[in-house]
Amino acid sequence: MAERSGFVREITPPDEDYSQWYQDVVTKADLADYGPVKGFIVIKPAGYALWENIQAGLDRRFKATGHVNAYFPLLIPESLLIKEADHVAGFTPEVAWVTQGGQETLSERLAIRPTSEVMVGAMYAKWVHSYRDLPILINQWNNVVRWEKVTRPFLRGTEFLWQEGHTAHASGDEAMAETLRMLEVYHEFLQTELAIPSRIGRKSESEKFAGAEITYSLEAMMGDNRALQAGTSHYFGTRFADAYGIRFLDQDGVEKSAFTTSWGMSTRVIGALIMVHGDARGLVLPPKVAPTQVVVVPIGANASTEVAAAARALQADLSLSLRVHLDDRPEFTPGWKFNEWEMRGIPLRLELGPRDLAASQVVAVRRDTGEKQPLPIAGLAGQLSALLERMQGELLARATRRLAEHTHTAADYAVALPILTERQGWVEAGWCGSEACEQQVKADSGATLRNLPLEQNVPATCLVCGAKAHYLALWGRAY
């Protein structure tokens, strides 16, 4: 039986070089490859199937909360982009411009969308006239381009895929409720589908989205103790409505500006999934989003005709309720296949050989723990469903424990700095609210203020200057 040399290759140990380990997992688990232009990746079928499952889970939640999908144009006229000053100032360094169409030099530069608030605002201004036109609850699935200097597959790309929700409301209270509701939708999705716990809170003024009045974020802890912003939800007040003319006649007969929000989650969460659950053998996929939940591998002397037939029947039966793949390739040994599917993170492997067939059983192997157990073929689908559900819960429990163990409280700056500098985890501490203290932590440790947790048990003093604290702040080095 031939072994295809070099296909299943060694992955750099994460404790040796975490960055290289991540790159190895992305490429060797066949999730993505590098395109010819820096920062533009090709998401391969395995990676895109994962994104499709993430999309489906989010889209289902959006529609359950009354949102509908639409699509807005890719190109934004420069004259439109510059109408909201803070927004354009925040994004101009990352904007890619179209200056020529065919052989014609354009009379006005067109920005390739870095985000869609501008285009959405211009269109909502056309659609909204009365309070009866509100609320507008729209989401779109698209790509955006931000000209990043440092890129890494999924985590930070020049082009990435995401969803961006954009809503307009008659009152600030309604818009704020929407902002917080979608934050919670993301929080529940990360936990339930990706088995990723997150800390939710408000961004500081220096870290908030360009043009927002308030930005909330979900911060997840990676395997190297860095933070990753997994999603954001923004409250704009009337800033974009004022800039783009989203005005309506209210029930009291007075013309008013609408209150708007936006919220987004991107393919960055694939990077989060890799780093939260992956290990030295490669990818570990949570069963709920794994494109393949179970792989069946026939074993034995040339996978006899009888075993091969039983494996095909098993795959057909299990596929009625689970996502199952049969690996009956004759050119590879079972051991080679085991290594490959472990690297690709398939939650369960089923081994079926002549002895198993004689005993009417399979051997189930968990990807997360490596635990093996024989299971009777009778009623196997139900047993596997229960096992996958348990694996999903245990992945979340493990990640939650890790987050708790590596989140430290500190009142002494001298104690906090080594934790942040040496990437031992995050620090929760008091903050006076001054940008000077915020920037001091960044200068001394490379850590940023990730957010101000929603549950505020405010310490007595600021970690940095010792003055009275007004907030509980979460600090950490981040991607």
Q: Of the residues 221, 252, 277, which one is the last residue of a structural domain?
A: 277
Q: Is residue 165 included in any domain, yes or no?
A: yes
Q: Is residue 288 included in any domain, yes or no?
A: no
CATH number, residue 351: 3.40.50.800
Domain extent, residue 420, equals 407-476
Q: Does residue 189 share a domain with residue 113?
A: yes
Amino acid at position 331, single letter: E
Q: What is the pLDDT of residue 3?
A: 43
Q: Is residue 392 included in any domain, yes or no?
A: no
Q: Does residue 360 share a domain with residue 330?
A: yes
Q: Does residue 179 share a domain with residue 125?
A: yes
Q: Does residue 93 share a domain with residue 241?
A: yes
Q: Of the residues 212, 242, 277, which one is the last residue of a structural domain?
A: 277
Q: What is the pLDDT of residue 7?
A: 46
CATH number, residue 204: 3.30.930.10
Q: Does residue 122 share a domain with residue 93?
A: yes
Q: Which of 440, 443, 445, 428 is nearest to 464 (CA)?
A: 440
Q: Is residue 26 included in any domain, yes or no?
A: yes
Q: Is residue 448 included in any domain, yes or no?
A: yes
Three-class SS of the chain: CCCCCCCCCCCCCCCCCHHHHHHHHHHHCCCEEECCCCCCEEECHHHHHHHHHHHHHHHHHHHHCCCEECCCCCEEEHHHHCCCHHHHHHHHHHCEEEEEECCEEEEEEEEECCCCHHHHHHHHHHHCCEHHHCCEEEEEEEEEECCCCCCECCCECCEEEEEEEEEEECCHHHHHHHHHHHHHHHHHHHHHHHCCCCEEEECCCCCCCCCCCEEEEEEEECCCCCEEEEEEEEEEECHHHHHHCCEEECCCCCEEECEEEEEEEECHHHHHHHHHHCECCECCCCCCCCCCCEEEEECCCCCCHHHHHHHHHHHHHHCCCCCEEECCCCCCCHHHHHHHHHHCCCCEEEEECHHHHHCCEEEEEECCCCCEEEEECCCHHHHHHHHHHHHHHHHHHHHHHHHHHCEEECCCHHHHHHHHHCCCCEEEEEECCCHHHHHHHHHHHCCEEEEEECCCCCCCECCCCCCECCEEEEEECEC
Q: What is the pLDDT of residue 6?
A: 44
Q: Does residue 449 share a domain with residue 378?
A: no
Q: Does residue 114 share a domain with residue 33?
A: yes
User: Which residues of the chain fall below pLDDT 50?
Assistant: 1-8
Q: What is the pLDDT of residue 86?
A: 77
Rounded-to-10 torsion of CA 378, 380, 386, 390: 120
Q: Is residue 77 included in any domain, yes or no?
A: yes
Q: What is the pLDDT of residue 436?
A: 98
Report the C-alpha gap between 262 and 55 in whole angstroms.
17
Q: Does residue 168 share a domain with residue 196?
A: yes
Its pTM stands at 0.95
Q: What is the pLDDT of residue 92?
A: 80
Q: Does residue 298 share a domain with residue 241?
A: no
CB environment 350-359: b (16+ within 10 A), e (fewer): bbbbbebbee
Count of domains observed in the chain: 3
Q: What is the pLDDT of residues 196-254, one digit of tens each?
A: 999 999 999 999 999 999 999 999 999 999 999 999 999 999 999 999 999 999 999 99
Q: Is residue 12 included in any domain, yes or no?
A: no
Q: Does residue 382 share a domain with residue 416?
A: no
Q: Of the residues 217, 244, 277, which one is the last residue of a structural domain?
A: 277
CATH number, residue 468: 3.30.110.30
Q: Does residue 270 share a domain with residue 299?
A: no
Q: Are the C-beta atoms of 339 and 291 separated by less than 8 Å?
A: no
Three-class SS of 110-138: EEECCCCHHHHHHHHHHHCCEHHHCCEEE
Q: Does residue 184 share a domain with residue 90?
A: yes
Q: Does a cis peptide bond (omega within 30 degrees of 0) precede residue 153? A: no
Q: Is residue 449 included in any domain, yes or no?
A: yes
Cα dist. 174→102, 249, 260, 263, 479 in Å? 46, 17, 10, 15, 33
Q: What is the pLDDT of residue 9?
A: 62
